[in-house]
Amino acid sequence: MSLTLSIDAMGGDVGYQVTIPASLQCLKKNPQLKIIMVGDQQILQEQLSQALVEFEGRLSIHHASQIVDMDEAPQKALKNKKDSSMRVAINLVRDGVADACVSAGNTGALMATARFVLKMIPGIDRPAIISTLPSIFGHTHMLDLGGNVDCSAEHLYQFAIMGEEVVKAVENIDNPKVGLLNIGEEDTKGNEQVKAAATLLENSSLNYIGYVEGDSINAGHTKVDLIVTDGFVGNVALKSIEGAAKMIGTKLKQSFADGVFSKLAALLAYPVLKAFKDSIDPRLYNGASFVGLRGLVIKSHGGADAKAFETAIHLAELESEKDVARKISEKVELAIANRDGEES
Amino acid sequence: MSLTLSIDAMGGDVGYQVTIPASLQCLKKNPQLKIIMVGDQQILQEQLSQALVEFEGRLSIHHASQIVDMDEAPQKALKNKKDSSMRVAINLVRDGVADACVSAGNTGALMATARFVLKMIPGIDRPAIISTLPSIFGHTHMLDLGGNVDCSAEHLYQFAIMGEEVVKAVENIDNPKVGLLNIGEEDTKGNEQVKAAATLLENSSLNYIGYVEGDSINAGHTKVDLIVTDGFVGNVALKSIEGAAKMIGTKLKQSFADGVFSKLAALLAYPVLKAFKDSIDPRLYNGASFVGLRGLVIKSHGGADAKAFETAIHLAELESEKDVARKISEKVELAIANRDGEES
């Protein structure tokens, strides 16, 4: 079964110099994959002249005359950049030409555009952002990571339903363990929304394991596969972990740079330190999915290099193969129908 | 100028086997320090027989017949444990016998008891918890870390005022840089409380630097000295960082345990790895202050060892010397008076 991805070739801090090598690498790895590079026809034609021959029938260019700036206001991009590489890549998903789109562009603009073009699944207000975080034993999925700052219990419940489908697809498991992020594991802990969401989750068909604390994020998957929280808390947790990893990496480097003996030790320990660094390489965790939309949109870090962008494309492949957007839509519809049934 | 601390000798996972060696170490280091060990007279008398001679006039025992269990419900402890080592240690602060108290006991019970015995500063609803986190260049102070889950803008503003006094005392600086934790640095980001708190802080006399993100926690002090957030987000951020540090430490250990060459490299790199480990030693960051009370209470981690408990005592010494509780009280009174003045 072939699958087609539209790539916002011009998006991100670097643009086509990252998106092109990553896309070609993915085409090499997956013979079922087709890619549409969206962006300036002339530039892409020039850059891809050889590749278009090598991947004939699987690689094509779709022209888009504009680029959304990384700091452009979302509403401005929506209004003035109707022919941007980002917008056109999303249009291709809406029109059924592509199964999913991948962009390293401006997050706010990508979310606003995706919402405008693809529309939300009925019953969902705003897209949520879900991504994978490294853990001791594997990794943990978490949402929302920034889309929704003020969340009701109902929102948190919907995140759990949507997140479950992503985890099932990406991890290839049946009953992901779902935890609700809180400041303690006891029933009495937390704010009103979290307590009310816990009741909704307890009465759902999800494999709900209860409250988890911040230190469980890096304890997946043995403890929890999916952590649900609002976009404010999720974003702060994600960034806090990034900051901690950066601090620890810097201190480790400093320790090994400190004095002649340390430098010698660093030299001898180099392969081990390299293996360690690779094991927590953030590029292997690049790619966040926007869920709640009538179509698949994967967001890459703006500063991603080719290897990191490849990870984001790979996520789009996985979610397309498993038809995640449709499954989410069906699950949400069912959950709303069940609740309406109970209420009437 | 001498200062006196009351120590909940029986609190924590271990109790007097941790609190006694830590206290004696502090008495050795600071000749101005007096310590009252609160707990079972017979046990303490036996354990301290030599020390009472060595530190005559600076070390004493105050009997308390009960111990609050680590998992005891706060309200139950408040009602049934009126002669607990925790309660009596706090009583000594209320009665002006001690300048501050240090406990490694049950957090909820300590907070409820401190609030009941010492009373809140007028205008403050609940104690907030402030602590220090390691960063690349030094460290960052953050509050609230768990006392207050639902916070208004006014609460966040009060946290900033109270936190500033703690930072001034602990860091010995005049104008700590105060940041408000948010999910972006732009004005448009965040929830309603955070946006309203930003306005209050902009119009205050504090050295307010604006919004900071989660990854700034580990970027103090060059960027920010004090980060203000609600107790839910603060607790999640703190625990997330703890989890990340644990994960990274485990992965590093695994890398060095993996194969004969790696083990050899570990042996050679041992002093460097040790120096690195020491540089992020969480025991050097033990000790959180409860602020908003009419007296100083320092909470140590329940699982603290003697070295970690020593850090908590040292914090109590610092805050006592600088008379932080009184300064907070004056600042809060002033802030309320100014606001009432503007309103009328």
pLDDT digits (tens, 9 = 90+) for A146-162: 878 889 999 999 999 99
Helix (H, G, I), strand (E, B) or coil at A209: strand
pLDDT of res. A81:
97
* CA A344 – CA A220 distance, rounded (Å): 39
* A95-104 per-position pLDDT tens digit: 999 999 999 9
Which chain B residue has its CA at the smallest distance from A271's CA?
A: B262
List the single residue in A241, A269, A275 with the smallest CB-CB distance to B268.
A269
Q: What angle do CA A13, A19, A20 make, to 5 degrees?
A: 135
pLDDT of res. B338:
75
How does DSSP classify residue A344? Answer: -
| Cross-chain Cβ contact A150/B215 below 8 Å | no
At A244, list the tokens.
Answer: 């901690």
Would the pLDDT of B344 be above 60? no
Q: How confident is the model at residue B340 (pLDDT cuts 50, 70, 90)?
A: low
Would the pLDDT of B175 be above 60? yes
List the single residue in A150, A237, A251 with the smallest CB-CB distance to B236.
A237
Would the pLDDT of A340 be above 70? no
Would the pLDDT of B188 be above 70? yes
Most confidently modeled range among A45-59, A237-251, B218-232? A45-59
pLDDT of res. A315:
96
- For the ranges A337-341, B149-153, B236-240, the lowest mean pLDDT is seen at A337-341
**Chain A neighbors of B242, CB-CB under 8 A:** 214-215
pLDDT of res. B44:
98
* A152-193 per-position pLDDT tens digit: 999 999 999 999 999 999 999 999 999 999 998 887 788 889
Query: Within an 8 Å CB–CB cutoff, is residue B258 touching chain A?
Result: yes
Whole-number mean pLDDT of chain A?
A: 91
Q: Taking Cα atoms as reference points, which of A285, A294, A301, A284 lies closest to residue A102? A: A301
Q: How confident is the model at residue B146 (pLDDT cuts 50, 70, 90)?
A: confident
* B238-285 per-position pLDDT tens digit: 999 988 888 888 888 888 887 777 777 777 788 888 887 887 787 888
Q: Taking Cα atoms as reference points, which of A288, A343, A332, A286 lies closest to residue A159? A: A332
Would the pLDDT of B343 be above 70? no
Average pLDDT over residues B18-39: 98
| Cross-chain Cβ contact A245/B243 below 8 Å | no
pLDDT of res. A334:
85
Query: How near does any CA of chain B get to the CA of A256, in Å?
Result: 6
Q: How confident is the model at residue A342 (pLDDT cuts 50, 70, 90)?
A: low
pLDDT of res. A343:
53
Average pLDDT over residues A204-230: 91
A32 burial via Cβ count (<10 Å: 0-12, 13-18, 19+): exposed
* CA B103 – CA B83 distance, rounded (Å): 15
**Chain B neighbors of A236, CB-CB under 8 A:** 181, 183, 213-214, 229, 233, 236-237
pLDDT of res. A110:
96
Structure-model confidence comparison of residues A150 and B50, the more confident one:
B50
pLDDT of res. A295:
96
* A288-320 per-position pLDDT tens digit: 999 999 999 999 999 999 999 999 999 999 999
Query: How near does any CA of chain B get to the CA of A73, in Å?
Result: 11
DSSP collapsed to 3 states, chain B: CCEEEEEECCCCCCCHHHHHHHHHHHHHHCCCEEEEEEECHHHHHHHHHHHHHHCCCCEEEEECCECCCCCCCHHHHHHHCCCEHHHHHHHHHHCCCCCEEEECCCHHHHHHHHHHHHCECCCCCCCEEEEEEECCCCEEEEECCCCCCCCCHHHHHHHHHHHHHHHHHHHCCCCCEEEEECCCCCCCCCCHHHHHHHHHHHCCCCEEEEEECHHHHHHCCCCCCEEECCHHHHHHHHHHHHHHHHHHHHHHHHHHHCCHHHHHHHHHHHHHHHHHHHHCCHHHHCCEEEECECCEEEECCCCCCHHHHHHHHHHHHHHHHCCHHHHHHHHHHHHHHHHHHHHC
pLDDT of res. B218:
84
Would the pLDDT of B156 be above 70? yes
Q: Is there a contact between A157 and A188 (Cβ–Cβ < 8 Å)?
A: no
pLDDT of res. B280:
77
Query: Within an 8 Å CB–CB cutoff, is residue B272 touching chain A?
Result: yes
Average pLDDT over residues B14-29: 97
pLDDT of res. B33:
97
Average pLDDT over residues A211-217: 92
At A290, list the tokens.
Answer: 């926007």
Instruction: Report ipTM for this prediction.
Output: 0.87
At A153, list the tokens.
Answer: 């219990």
Query: Within an 8 Å CB–CB cutoff, is residue A240 touching chain B?
Result: yes
Average pLDDT over residues A69-83: 94
Q: How confident is the model at residue B48 (pLDDT cuts 50, 70, 90)?
A: very high
Tell me which of A213, A215, A227, A250 to substitute to probe the interface with B (most B C-beta atoms closer than 10 Å).
A215
Q: How confident is the model at residue B336 (pLDDT cuts 50, 70, 90)?
A: confident
* CA A251 – CA A230 distance, rounded (Å): 32
* B111-141 per-position pLDDT tens digit: 999 999 999 998 888 899 999 988 877 889 9
Average pLDDT over residues A228-237: 95
| Cross-chain Cβ contact A213/B236 below 8 Å | yes
Q: How confident is the model at residue A256 (pLDDT cuts 50, 70, 90)?
A: confident
As a whole-number percent, the residues of chain A with pLDDT over 90 amount to: 71
* CA A177 – CA A227 distance, rounded (Å): 9
Would the pLDDT of A232 be above 80? yes
Query: Within an 8 Å CB–CB cutoff, is residue A334 touching chain B?
Result: no
Query: How near does any CA of chain A get to the CA of B205, in Å?
Result: 27
Query: Within an 8 Å CB–CB cutoff, is residue B244 touching chain A?
Result: yes
Domains of chain B with CATH codes? 1-125+292-323 (3.40.718.10), 128-284 (3.40.718.10)
